[in-house]
Structure 1
Amino acid sequence: MIRNCFRIKKFSVRFSSTISSKPSYYHRVEGESFQYLTIGQLLKQATEKYGDRQAFISCEEKSQISFNEALHKANKLASGLLNLGLEKGDRVAIWSPNFEFWYTSYMAIARAGLICVTLNPAYTIPELNFCLNKVGVKAIISPEVFRKQQHYEMLSTLIPQLKNSKAGKIEGNATNSLQHVITVSDKKLPGAINFLELLNLSSENDLIKVEELQSSISVDDGSMIQFTSGTTGQPKATLLSHFAMVNSSYYSAIRNSLDKIYMKCSSPLPFFHVGGSIVSVLGSLHFGATLVSPSPHFDGEAMLRSIVNEKCNMMIGTPTFFVDLWSKQRALNLKIPEILIACVGGSLLSPQIVKDLETILKVKKISSVYGLTETSSVIMQTLPGDSNQSVEEFVGTVSKNVEAKIIDRDGKTVNFGEPGELCIRTSLNMLCYFNDPEKTKEVMGDDRWLKTGDQFILYENGYGKVVGRIKDMIIRGGENIFPKEIEDYLNTHEDIAETQVIGIPDDRMGEEVGAFIKLKDSSKTLTQNDIKEFCKNNLAHFKVPKFVIIVEDFPKTLSGKIQKFKFLEFYADKLKNLE
């Protein structure tokens, strides 16, 4: 039945090998208007259309909620948050991997007119403290513990008076702005508010007030803050609006054909990333797709079993995820249902990955996406009729109502077919970096053109391809890592004189972190284990260098500037010995 109603007309995207004489500016104008909705209104709309259909399934928790239940729970939690004294525009953080309460909290924060701050569950105490202070978080929602990460104990260390406070409000917190700690636990923890108790305290009158509140929340208000690093290495707080998030997810959902057929989508993308919170969560609301969360953190076997057990016909992930999937599939040899679409982002697809998606996982259609946190996720994506082979070279074509241009170092627009920095202007762009006008101005001027930092080639038909990164960003399994943050920390080691960090190509992760270190005393040495111990509790695990190479000097230009692009060439033998 599904095969008959979902026909893909494939064609090859053709490009001229010559450089055009026309400036590389492209604006995709299409007749369909923007969706003028808040996230809370989008959830209400989904409920009215799809009601008792499954909205979200958490495989590890063995739980599921319908669209009706999602709205009801969101309203109850929204009223609970407001009853704590939180007011419109206050920031509420979710510090957790993918659980059902993350989904509910996300919707509740939007329905309450608050701003959701998404935090990486792998953050250490210093990283957490920086983010809380940066945006003035007033309440945080987290599990008591997840695996080795002791969330409640870490918060207790950060806020010593927490355990001596009455549940409801932290008094005298001089460390940061945090007033309320909400924990998901089967225990009553000192100073913390129990999530389930807060969820169940709402009266019918409270729920009516939440519904009445929706008309006063502006579509153009800030709705979410996600942290992204920059060339300075310090995380920047990207403020996204309801409007941008709703429309970015809407356009991506259409290009994934969610408007044509009911999709049951297995997605391991972390909710604290725009891919998880916008493409996966919000994307499923527009056309009543069911979002399936295989496990709190990515687990290849869990994802495979979620596809089989829930009979998913769509999956979303990074190339790294899919490499792990077919490795597990070779071992398990499960009977996988027909996958109509695999939506892939985070890094470019190799021909081998495309082939394995088609042959091992039996994927009919591969959809490539490109976007940034600052553009509310996707602003380029393949069209439903594009051939699977097109994703090996191109990230797709410009999204609806998005302007794109390529500029040189002087800011001049280059011609189609010439490389340069990709710039984007759209209503999907971030509002700003929260309380950071200088950093905002660096990437987005008064004309609203946003510099992506990525080196691109754009063609006359709006298709583009990445040819390099102007920024030094490392993409490890879809995680964006910026070297300067790691370099600055390693340079605090008493034996290290200077550090340069680059991405080392890796078949599975795309890139791994490599640290090239000059020691103060050449007679000493440092190993990868030494560096791992030094980074413990101060850098998230995915930022810790896998490769540590002790060097006497760095490749430089005649003027003394370090040439990072030559590291792999200069130290190829040392890297080979470390593999």
Structure 2
Amino acid sequence: MSDKPWLNEYPEGVQAEIDMDEFDSVVDVIDKSCNEFRDKVAYVNFGAELTFGQVDRHSAAFAARLQAMGLEKGDRIAIMMPNVLQYPIAVFGALRAGLVVVNTNPLYTARELKHQLNDSGAKAIVIMDNFASVLEAVIDDVPIEHVILTRMGDMLGGLKGAFTNFAVRYVKKMVPAYNLPNARPFNAVLREGADERFLPVELGHEDIAFLQYTGGTTGVSKGAVLTHGNMVANMQQASAWLGGRLDVGKETIITALPLYHIFALTANCLVFVKLGGRNVLITNPRDMNGFVKELGKEKFTAITGVNTLFNGLLNTPGFVDLDFSSLKMTLGGGMAVQRSVAERWKKATGVTLVEAYGLTETSPAACINPMDLEEYNGAIGLPISSTECRVIDPDGNPLPVGETGELCVRGPQVMRGYWNRPEETAKVLGDDGWLRTGDMAKMDEKGYFYIVDRKKDMILVSGFNVYPNEVEDVVADHPKVLEVGAIGAPDEKSGEVVKVVVVRKDDSLTVKELREFCREQLTGYKVPKYVEFVDELPKTNVGKILRRELRDLYGEARSSED
């Protein structure tokens, strides 16, 4: 027990080990929940509801149609949409057909989308028409054979759905013109699939469920290979941890984080299906006033989010006046929860904001604080069931209690590796199963872990990883840029924002010009908020830019023309 002091701190009823054999696959979990909770509501969006029975029927039809298109077990399918009712149908349908889901950020630029589709080898894509113009720009340069196109209101039914689609396209003008002549409408695919025979696919723990793209600890975006076993493990671990606090078949969770992000995918979309919960999908949480209005309609019992989301809600008029009498659980992850936000949340809602820690590479949960925590404690929590954590020195030797080193994680939720990148896998994943997270941490005598410093160079914007290499590659492409270094600058709203420090080739280059150039190549949260022009960048004697020195010299939230 001494090498796992955290087991003594486990809340009552939480077992040290999970039962991996209860479910063969993610599909097994979905099938059992759809049968057990058939008449209960599974998902809600814009006031429209889908029962577990409807999710079962629609996802089976979707799976049957994918099979009829010629897609086979192991083929990759990209899914690119915000939080709408079509998402769980498409994901569950794809998994039931034995396909590998490639979650794709709908805000990707053409360059980012092209990389992900080519890297994954995706043969099909389900995409919302708001983003179809981006796909059109790359469709001839990617392996996509089948395009399934959906619209915002497709699952809202009748007049409501038709009105929503009309308003999004013609009133709000949120759908740029596109030309994808071979695309099939999502609703037509469901209708056709309903008349076809779905052939169940045999799936086991070793089969791949998701390619979840991340920068890992370095550079270009890589696909973390998450098997059905990885995902089943994390569902079992999370439900074991939450089980004592939540009632099966009776919970309502607010899902504002995007389901394509690993945190919401597992914690909300999958774990709450297993628990027979009701998932309220928030399509646009950036509209904080609209978000608070939606919360006012629900007697919600759980909510997950990142620090910026909780901070945004606390600063939105009307939020503190909501009825929180049903709220049992608030789980924060994706980025560090700030003490001030946690304390304000507890004061406003009466519920402790419980911090968790994970990575895309760990499906994602690795550590969670006890759900009965009285007050925010600044820790990322205890290693969850069947999970080991340790802190190592640069030579890989375990460090004693209280000393800071790199955090490593081992457990059944740890990815198989990075898709088609054995060298990158070898850098972080040992033959002994230990994953090097790149995060600097320490453990106290009770087994609580604390993040001391973040991955060396990564910038964390509202819970999303931004990798300096990618930003630097784009900025360096500008004809007036000589050299560039990308770092994080502090930001009240999002924790950090991107800042670039630039040596110009041509002094006529302005901050505005460079930011507009970046906006064409990078998703919004990766675009530098600050640009500082300097004469030279700090470097090693072999010419490598010293990012730590760069942060020390230029880490302030300012631009050259401020």
Same fold flag (TM > 0.5):
yes
User: Percent same amino acid at aligned positions?
Assistant: 29
Inter-CA distance 557–287: structure 2 relative to 1 (3 Å threshold): same
**Equivalent in the alignment of 1:178:** 144
Alpha-carbon distance between aligned partners in 1 of 2:234 and 2:271, rounded to the nearest angstrom: 8
What is the CA-CA distance between 1:536 and the residue it aligns to?
Answer: 2.8
**Equivalent in the alignment of 1:159:** 139
Alpha-carbon distance between aligned partners in 2 of 1:246 and 1:304, rounded to the nearest angstrom: 33
Alpha-carbon distance between aligned partners in 2 of 1:321 and 1:33, rounded to the nearest angstrom: 34
Query: Does the 8 Å contact 2:113/2:135 carry over to 1?
Result: no
Alpha-carbon distance between aligned partners in 2 of 1:92 and 1:572, rounded to the nearest angstrom: 40
**Equivalent in the alignment of 2:38:** 51
Amino acid at match of 2:516: E
Amino acid at match of 2:232: V
Alpha-carbon distance between aligned partners in 2 of 1:337 and 1:527, rounded to the nearest angstrom: 52
SS at structure 1 position matched to 2:473: helix
**Alignment of structure 1 residues 62-81 onto 2, 5 Å:** 62-81=47-66
SS at structure 1 position matched to 2:412: coil
What is the CA-CA distance between 1:474 and the residue it aligns to?
Answer: 0.8
**Equivalent in the alignment of 1:538:** 521
In the alignment, which of 395, 398, 405 is matched to residue 380 of structure 2? 395
Q: CA offsets, 1:360-412, max 9 Å, x none?
A: 3x14232211000001111100112322222xx20110011011111111111
What is the CA-CA distance between 1:565 and the residue it aligns to?
Answer: 3.1
**Equivalent in the alignment of 1:243:** 229
**Equivalent in the alignment of 1:197:** 188
Is the aligned partner of 1:315 residue 2:303? yes
**Alignment of structure 1 residues 78-93 onto 2, 5 Å:** 78-93=63-78
Inter-CA distance 118–556: structure 2 relative to 1 (3 Å threshold): same
Alpha-carbon distance between aligned partners in 2 of 1:30 and 1:431, rounded to the nearest angstrom: 23
What is the CA-CA distance between 1:23 and the residue it aligns to?
Answer: 7.7
Inter-CA distance 231–266: structure 2 relative to 1 (3 Å threshold): closer
Amino acid at match of 1:476: V
What is the CA-CA distance between 1:517 and the residue it aligns to?
Answer: 0.8
What is the CA-CA distance between 1:482 and the residue it aligns to?
Answer: 0.6
Greater relative contact order (Cα < 8 A, sep 6+): 1
**Equivalent in the alignment of 1:224:** 210
**Alignment of structure 1 residues 383-422 onto 2, 5 Å:** 383-390=370-377, 393-422=378-407
Amino acid at match of 1:543: K
Amino acid at match of 2:85: E
What is the CA-CA distance between 1:526 and the residue it aligns to?
Answer: 3.4
SS at structure 2 position matched to 1:328: coil
Q: CA offsets, 1:321-352, max 9 Å, x none?
A: 01110111358845555422111012222221
Aligned pairs, how many? Answer: 527
Is the aligned partner of 1:548 residue 2:528? no
What is the CA-CA distance between 1:561 and the residue it aligns to?
Answer: 5.5
What is the TM-score of this pair, normalised by structure 1? Answer: 0.85
In the alignment, which of 273, 277, 282 is matched to residue 270 of structure 2? 282
Inter-CA distance 205–545: structure 2 relative to 1 (3 Å threshold): closer
Amino acid at match of 1:114: L
What is the CA-CA distance between 1:286 and the residue it aligns to?
Answer: 1.8
**Equivalent in the alignment of 1:163:** none
Is the aligned partner of 1:348 residue 2:336? yes
Which range moves more in the overlay, 75-84 or 249-258? Answer: 249-258
Alpha-carbon distance between aligned partners in 1 of 2:347 and 2:487, rounded to the nearest angstrom: 34
Query: Does the 8 Å contact 2:390/2:398 carry over to 1?
Result: yes
Amino acid at match of 1:177: P
Alpha-carbon distance between aligned partners in 2 of 1:102 and 1:574, rounded to the nearest angstrom: 37
What is the TM-score of this pair, normalised by structure 2? Answer: 0.88
Query: Does the 8 Å contact 1:26/1:405 carry over to 2?
Result: no
Q: Which runs of 5+ in 2 are unaligned?
A: 155-164, 166-178
SS at structure 1 position matched to 2:352: strand
Query: Does the 8 Å contact 2:402/2:442 carry over to 1?
Result: yes
Query: Does the 8 Å contact 1:54/1:64 carry over to 2?
Result: yes
Query: Does the 8 Å contact 1:421/1:470 carry over to 2?
Result: no
**Equivalent in the alignment of 2:438:** 453
What is the CA-CA distance between 1:472 and the residue it aligns to?
Answer: 0.9
